[in-house]
Amino acid sequence: MAVAYDDRSVKPMSASLMRAKIATRVVAGLYEAVPTLMTSAVRMSVELPGSSRQAGPPYPFTFAVSPAWCSGLKGARLVGSGKLDIAWINPSVITTMAHLGKGPFRHPYPIRALAVFPSWDRLVVAVAGNLAIRSMEELKKKRPVLRASVAANDCVDFAIGAMLKAHGLRLDSFIEWGGAVEPVERPSNPRRRDGIISGEINMVIDEGLDSWGEVALKHGMVFLPFSQQALVKLERYGFSRAPLAGGRLKGTLDGSAEVVDYSGWPIITHADLPEELAYQFVAALERIREEIPYDSAQVPPMSSFCRSTEEGPLDIPLHPGAERYYRERGYL
């Protein structure tokens, strides 16, 4: 028989809550001290063992971070359907599509934002300069033999498929032209970097420009602008166009060239998350704001967590509890 343990009677400094607090700090300490021993897939579950879920605190919830199974399309669906309570998604456009029921989502999901973290990025196509190709139209016309390093994960492969389709291409097109496609799960894959430097890889399709974009520019690769016709199709699908130049790409780039925006790391939840929990979640973020790492050059102001910026687009509603916190403190 399961024994119910009701935390509603627990005092703030009880032994059980003290041990729970220590446990979370130990895990955080491991990620600070020995991150290479850890994994980027994390699922935390705050439970009420043996108790039925009732109104009022304490609130059981799950919070997951994992590029393998919940940071992309799957994560948005899991949160929207209530199978996860909170998840960290990359990039913002996935949450926009899920909220609107566009692109790969067949219907709208009732997701809400708790915060959005800055992470400037673009979805791009880069080719070796010696191919003398300067546009997607020239790429289709010349049909060069390519060895392409291409992302293959839930956060970006759907976008690559949509982008190529909008240009009348498929990944198989490069194989049909006599080339090869090498899928990589992470933009920072060392085989990609080594291949760009050696010249063995003469095409890259991916986001995560911080890890490979500068190396590509340094070794003569050219970033291709997307065609206007394709951009219109991609906007209907749910993407936003964005200038290629700027952000982290420090090199000679066509200022008028446009690609697809892939910025932002939103933390999302579903509409049914208790308001008090959402409020306190954001409060906890503010307490540690200056201590945690960011995918940006500077520590962002708290006001940027609750509004759309170039580095962190936010096109879905804030959760009411989160919105109340931001408004009470003058961030909105």
Q: Would you place residue 6 in the very low, low, confident or very high pLDDT band (cuts 50, 70, 90)?
A: low
Task: Please give the C-alpha separations between residue 252 and each of 48, 202, 210, 216, 297, in angstroms, as whole numbers.
Answer: 57, 19, 16, 12, 21
**d(Cα 100, Cα 292) in Å, to the nearest integer?**
31
Terminal Cα-to-Cα distance of the chain (whole angstroms): 50
Q: Would you place residue 80 in the very low, low, confident or very high pLDDT band (cuts 50, 70, 90)?
A: very high
Paired with 54 in beta bridges are none
**d(Cα 228, Cα 224) in Å, to the nearest integer?**
12
Which structural domains are found in the chain, ordered by start? 13-119+264-328 (3.40.190.10), 122-261 (3.40.190.10)
Q: Would you place residue 10 in the very low, low, confident or very high pLDDT band (cuts 50, 70, 90)?
A: low
The amino acid occupying position 302 is: M
**d(Cα 115, Cα 102) in Å, to the nearest integer?**
22
Query: In the predicted model, what is the mean pLDDT of the chain?
Result: 92
Q: Model confidence over 173-194: pLDDT tens digits?
A: 999 999 999 999 889 999 999 9
Q: Would you place residue 51 in the very low, low, confident or very high pLDDT band (cuts 50, 70, 90)?
A: low
Tell me what percent of the chain is helix, strand and coil, each rounded to the nearest 5.
40, 20, 45
Residue 23 has what pLDDT?
92
Residue for token pair 């890890």: 211
- Residues 6+ away with beta carbon under 8 Å from 93: 159, 238, 239, 240, 260, 261, 262, 264, 313
Q: Which residue has the higher pLDDT, 51 or 306?
A: 306
Instruction: Provide mean pLDDT across the span 301-320.
Output: 97
The alpha carbon torsion through 18, 21, 23, 28 (nearest 10 deg) reads: -150
Residue 8 has what pLDDT?
55
C-beta of residue 36 within 8 angstroms of C-beta of residue 49: no
C-beta of residue 116 within 8 angstroms of C-beta of residue 264: yes
Instruction: Provide mean pLDDT across the span 99-119.
Output: 97
Q: Is the pLDDT of residue 92 over 90?
A: yes
Query: Phi first, then psi: what are they for 233, rounded to 5°?
Result: -65, -40
Angle at 37 between CA 33 and CA 42, to 5 degrees: 95
Which spans in 256-319 are helix H? 275-288
Q: Would you place residue 1 in the very low, low, confident or very high pLDDT band (cuts 50, 70, 90)?
A: very low
Phi-psi group of 317: left, alpha or beta (phi > 0 → left; psi -120 to 50 → alpha; rest → beta): beta
Q: Is the pLDDT of residue 250 over 60?
A: yes
Q: Which of 33-42, 55-64, 266-275 has the lowest mean pLDDT?
A: 55-64
Instruction: Provide mean pLDDT across the span 19-33.
Output: 92
Long-range interactions of 183-186: CB distance < 8 A, separation 24+ = 183/150, 183/151, 183/152, 184/149, 184/150, 184/151, 184/152, 185/67, 185/151, 185/152, 185/153, 186/67, 186/153, 186/211
Residue 65 has what pLDDT?
93
**d(Cα 173, Cα 224) in Å, to the nearest integer?**
17
- Residues 6+ away with beta carbon under 8 Å from 202: 127, 128, 130, 131, 144, 146, 147, 148
Which spans in the chain are helix H? 15-33, 73-80, 92-100, 136-142, 157-166, 171-176, 190-198, 209-218, 228-237, 275-288, 320-328
Q: Model confidence over 129-167: pLDDT tens digits?
A: 999 999 999 999 999 999 999 999 999 999 999 999 999
Q: Model confidence over 264-292: pLDDT tens digits?
A: 999 999 999 999 999 999 999 999 999 99
Q: Is the pLDDT of residue 7 over 60?
A: no
Q: Which of 7-21, 158-172, 316-330 has the lowest mean pLDDT?
A: 7-21
Residue 252 has what pLDDT?
67
- Residues 6+ away with beta carbon under 8 Å from 248: 120, 209, 210, 213, 214
Say what the pTM is. Answer: 0.92
